[in-house]
């Protein structure tokens, strides 16, 4: 069945009312083909993502019309390190996005940062002077809520324990899933005196771990008890090693929070953000997009580029974020994009005229 893009009215309703029709997130078996040609059967449970086994030469974008624009109808942009760094807009981005729209390109903005909901990211785009329609914005907090909705978590009558910030909580509110933790537990400390113990809610059926600038020992202990003793499902919004809190340096990302819970439970999480196929399956199947004409643009090899290569998309790595050209071209790197560029502004590079001899 083909699906068409929602109208502006439907899209606004979709943002306000939550994810009532995100059927693409339903758990199912499917076949994943990596760029190396390996075929693996997978579910929407934790999985190991395939990477290329042989280092390939990576072409730097030099003729954007023929190398990229003629081959792509839809661009999926990561946000941190591509559109902005921290709270600072990267120079030239508004003009580049406007040029892409004038060419008739569809655009979506997919971020692994779970600290904001889709509505929260809409406010951030607005604050940076970018008029991005809400239906073009997808976050890993959205993906976590959609995963719960499509696995019918609400019907279990259980709650979610949140390690994370307000973005996850707002998305859970939209789908009516009860939760505890999150910002409310930021100042709590467990009783660690003689005989001290932390009592957890027996109704917790899942633990969502997202980026949390106020993570503490109370939250880690609560999560491990829910998982180890209560059998709660362990869900991670993403595994990003570092993130852009400011434009001055890299900061420890959600991988550090997830790593803490992995360390004390011995369990691997269900990952719902990039490079998981959840969000691209939603876009491709729900909105009727041809994966062969979609390009993922990001600044990370192990999430953005892998998201593209593992899901049959074209991929462009930009050097405006965490990945350097040295790391990309290193013999140790086995994850390679189709193209790379300094920033997305290079999509409209002036190509020097050829001089005939």
Catalytic positions are: 78, 80
The answer to the question of whether 2 is labelled as a binding residue is: no
Give the C-alpha separation, 338 to 316, whole Å.
6
The answer to the question of whether 274 is labelled as a binding residue is: yes
The answer to the question of whether 80 is labelled as a binding residue is: yes
Give the CA angle between residues 214, 216, 220 to the nearest 5°: 125
For 297, the token pair is 């643009």
Task: Count how many Cα atoms sit within 13 Å of the Cα of residue 144 in the half-sphere of its side chain.
Answer: 39
Give the C-alpha separation, 335 to 333, whole Å.
6
Burial 243-277 (b: 16+ CB within 10 A, else e): bbbeeeeeeebbbbbbebbbeebeeebbbbbbbbb
| Residues comprising the chain, all counted | 357
Torsional sign, CA 15, 11, 282, 129: negative
For 40, the token pair is 């693996």
Give the C-alpha separation, 180 to 201, whole Å.
9
The phi, psi pair for 181, rounded to 5°, reads 85, -145
**Binding-site residues for substrate:** 274
**Binding-site residues:** 78, 80, 274, 299
**Binding-site residues for Mg(2+):** 78, 80, 299
């Amino acid at each position: 069945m083909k699906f068409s893009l929602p109208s502006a009215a439907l899209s606004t309703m979709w943002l306000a009312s939550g994810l009532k029709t995100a059927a693409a997130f339903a758990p199912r078996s499917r076949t994943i083909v990596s760029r190396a040609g390996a075929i693996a059967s997978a579910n929407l449970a934790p999985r190991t993502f395939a990477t290329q086994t042989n280092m390939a030469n990576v072409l730097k974008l030099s003729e954007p019309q023929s190398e990229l624009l003629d081959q792509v109808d839809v661009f999926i942009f990561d946000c941190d390190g591509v559109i902005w760094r921290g709270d600072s807009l990267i120079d030239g981005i508004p003009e580049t996005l406007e040029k892409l729209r004038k060419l008739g390109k569809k655009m979506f903005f997919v971020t692994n940062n779970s600290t904001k909901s889709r509505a929260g990211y809409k406010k951030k785009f607005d604050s940076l002077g970018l008029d991005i329609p809400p239906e073009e914005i997808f976050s890993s907090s959205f993906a976590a809520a959609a995963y719960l909705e499509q696995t019918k978590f609400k019907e279990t009558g259980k709650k979610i324990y949140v390690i994370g910030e307000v973005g996850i909580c707002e998305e859970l509110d939209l789908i009516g899933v009860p939760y505890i933790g999150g910002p409310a537990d930021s100042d709590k400390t467990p009783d660690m005196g003689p005989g001290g113990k932390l009592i957890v809610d027996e109704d917790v059926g899942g633990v969502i771990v997202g980026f949390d600038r106020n993570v503490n020992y109370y939250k880690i202990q609560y999560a491990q008890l829910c998982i180890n003793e209560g059998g709660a499902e362990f869900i991670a919004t993403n595994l990003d090693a570092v993130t852009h809190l400011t434009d001055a340096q890299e900061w420890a990302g959600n991988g550090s929070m997830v790593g803490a819970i992995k360390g004390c439970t011995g369990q691997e999480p269900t990952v719902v953000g990039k490079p998981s196929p959840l969000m691209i399956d939603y876009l491709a199947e729900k909105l009727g997009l041809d994966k062969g004409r979609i390009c993922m643009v990001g600044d990370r090899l192990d999430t953005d580029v892998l998201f593209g290569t593992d899901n049959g998309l074209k991929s462009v790595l930009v050097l405006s974020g965490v990945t350097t050209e040295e790391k990309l071209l290193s013999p140790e790197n086995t994850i390679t994009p189709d193209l790379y560029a300094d920033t997305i502004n290079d999509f409209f590079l002036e190509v020097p005229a050829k001089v005939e001899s």
